[in-house]
Homo-oligomer: A and B are copies of this chain.
């Protein structure tokens, strides 16, 4: 089954929705990418909040429009708080998204991520190695960097989507977004983005936010990937390395409008 290309008009439409609705995103993410994640969401017009205490996390995920679970710096305490937040989000009918950072390579997070798959995530975003490991089709890499191409993980992504009923995005040089039946391909971005920490994690936060938008979720998630890829391409053109990329990327996200995307 060949993936379709995301229609640019659909991406433009989703971006407009995103800016208008300004989703409040509860981010339970890793220590390394908190600032960048918050700034990416703010640049796009969303409203991020990081709430991590178990009791508060449960309270807040019912208030927020969407929840992000990123296991990059998982601890036992955080796992407990994440479970509480997910239960509360599910009860309140709020969508939650999983970023299974480095799953497969490390036992504690691998067990935790597999446990979470039964808790009805709205979306899952990972690189090829992570999606292969999560689908049980690979032993995973040594860490956060993928050793596989996104296309090689597409069957795993589709199987995972069917198993969990989540929209699964496997991102790389080309991103593939699938619900197990339909698959959309998203192009753009630049290898320089792999030299800046948090681009993938921040994309997962935008995916989480996009799950709060009305309309077709597969399209919304693919639009999130497309907006980030397009801002990335612009920022690379405007920068001279991974340092100047970051401010240029946030400026590009802030400036991007429907016409640019379309």
- B106 and A42: CB pair below 8 A? no
What interface size band does chain A fall in? 35 or more
User: Once bound together, how far apart are the Cα atoms of A213 and B247, in whole Å?
Assistant: 33
- B105 and A63: CB pair below 8 A? yes
Number of copies: 3
Q: A32-B35, A64-B142 are in contact. Are A195 and B43 (CB under 8 A)?
A: yes
Is A39 interfacial (CB-CB < 8 Å)?
yes
- A197 and B48: CB pair below 8 A? yes
- A243 and B246: CB pair below 8 A? yes
- B195 and A143: CB pair below 8 A? no
Is A49 interfacial (CB-CB < 8 Å)?
yes
Q: A39-B196, A47-B143 are in contact. Are A52 and B24 (CB under 8 A)?
A: no
User: Once bound together, how far apart are the Cα atoms of A53 and B102, in whole Å?
Assistant: 14
Chain A residues engaging chain B, CB cutoff 8 angstroms? 24, 30-36, 38-39, 42-43, 47-53, 55-56, 59-60, 63-64, 72-77, 102, 105-109, 142-145, 194-198, 239-255
- A33 neighbours in B (Cβ, 8 Å): 35
Q: A53-B108, A72-B50, A73-B52 are in contact. Are A251 and B255 (CB under 8 A)?
A: no
- A109 neighbours in B (Cβ, 8 Å): 56
- A51 neighbours in B (Cβ, 8 Å): 73, 102, 106
Q: A32-B34, A198-B35, A243-B254 are in contact. Are A59 and B143 (CB under 8 A)?
A: no
Which residue of chain B lies nearest to A75 when distances are taken between CB atoms in the complex?
B53
User: Once bound together, how far apart are the Cα atoms of A194 and B48, in whole Å?
Assistant: 12
Expressed in whole angstroms, the minimum distance between the Cβ of A73 and any Cβ of chain B is: 5
A-B contact pairs, 17 of them (CB 8 A): A31-B31, A31-B52, A32-B38, A35-B35, A43-B195, A48-B197, A53-B74, A55-B107, A59-B107, A60-B105, A60-B143, A63-B105, A75-B77, A239-B251, A243-B247, A243-B251, A243-B254
